[in-house]
Amino acid sequence: MVNLEVNLKGLSLKNPVMTASGTFGYGEEFDDFIDIDRLGGILVKGTTRHHREGNPYPRMAETPSGMLNAVGLQNKGVENFCNDIYPRIKHYNTNILVNVSGSTIEDYIETASMINELDRIPAIELNISCPNVKEGGMAFGTSCVSAASVVKAVRKVYNKHLMVKLSPNVTDISEIAKAVEAEGADSVSLINTLLGMAIDAESRRPLLSTITGGLSGPCVKPVALRMVWQVFRAINIPIIGLGGIMNAKDAIEFILAGASAIQIGTANFIDPQVTVKVVEGIKEYMIRHKVQNISDLVGALEIQ
């Protein structure tokens, strides 16, 4: 039989399929649709030190083969997560990762150290790339110096698997990846959303309350694939690839480009069962192509 297991520097996944933060709630929202325990891992909502109301309505606009969002990290804060949500979801028999966001280094440190105490959370994903927060959430991810500084600070207080989520809104993503690798990141996930904008020509108004927002969905897949490929050749820690994955074929493309595991985001909105279908599709691909271990496909793009 084919072996879908993935080992991300100590974090082991039963298969390479995870969910993308902010698109999968706390997992519970999908209980009616799928058996979450069949996934390699789930990334829960972006979590911050303090409660955040997020941005005003409207927060969403459809775009060609994609969508823009301006949720703005609405969440009840890390304490609420630890006390109320964690007890409710820790029963899942899959890896639960918390996406940690912040506006200051202190925020990140506080939040990460609180999550560090939770037995059933084997890893965090450090979100240094959210484009929807005014006070610097994205700025951290757009320069090597600031990206390194936040990873360095969090590394000191967080001793499990530290995944760092990179912003695609940069000139050279592999430089940023190298900088966070150097500070002890265990893996990198990419890409977060591309900064975009939508306008209603008739009303002459922006479609989002924040004017600009984060672009996701199949439209960003070519950019995401390119970045995974670039980063793969630049660093030695594992890569988690995402951006527009809608089916197993897309997932395989990311793996061939260099991703050890993948995340599925926007596709969950269109088909809440997509994640388990992708697990099955990857299996089917491996059987058809006589690939024994999924790891054999990682970065296996053939270039003459």
| Token representation of residue 7 | 């080992």
Binding site partner of 190, from a second copy, ligand FMN, another protein, none, Cβ cut-off 5-8 A by kind:
none
Q: Is 3 annotated as a binding residue?
A: no
Strands ordered across the beta sheet of 60-63 = 60-63, 66-69, 212-216, 194-197
Q: Residue 80 CB: number of other CB atoms within 10 A?
A: 14
Q: Spell out the residues 6+ positions from residue 33 whose beta carbon is closer than 8 angstroms to its own.
A: 272, 273
Q: Residue 75 contacts by C-beta under 8 Å, 6 or more apart in sequence?
A: 45, 46, 47, 48, 51, 52, 54, 81
Residue nearest to ligand FMN (CB): 22
The interface mask with another protein, positions 190-219, x = CB under 8 A, is ---------------------------xx-
284, containing H or E segment = helix 274-288
CA dihedral 176, 185, 242, 129 (to 10 degrees): -50
Considering only 24, 108, 229, 232, the residue that binds a second copy (CB under 8 A) is 229
Q: Are 8 and 164 in contact (CB under 8 A)?
A: no
Separation between Cα atoms, residue 197 and residue 77, nearest integer Å: 28
191 known ligand binder = yes
Tell me whether residue 144 is one of the annotated catalytic residues.
no
Identified catalytic residue from 82, 130, 144, 219: 130
Does 127 belong to an annotated binding site?
A: yes
Between CA 99 and CA 101 the distance in angstroms is 6
Instruction: Indicate whether 253 belongs to the interface with a second copy (CB under 8 A).
Output: yes
199 binds, among a second copy, another protein, ligand FMN, none (CB under 5 to 8 A by kind): a second copy
Q: Which residues, numbered 248-267, are part of the site for ligand FMN (CB under 6 A)?
A: 264-267
At closest approach, how far in Å is the CB of 287 from ligand FMN? 25
As annotated, the active-site residues are 130
Binding site for a second copy (CB under 8 A): 63-66, 68, 142-143, 169-172, 194-199, 201, 203-206, 211-212, 215, 217-223, 225-226, 229, 244, 249, 252-253, 256-257, 285, 300-303
Binding site for ligand FMN (CB under 6 A): 20-23, 45-46, 69, 71, 73, 99, 127, 130, 165, 192-193, 214, 216-217, 220, 242-245, 264-267
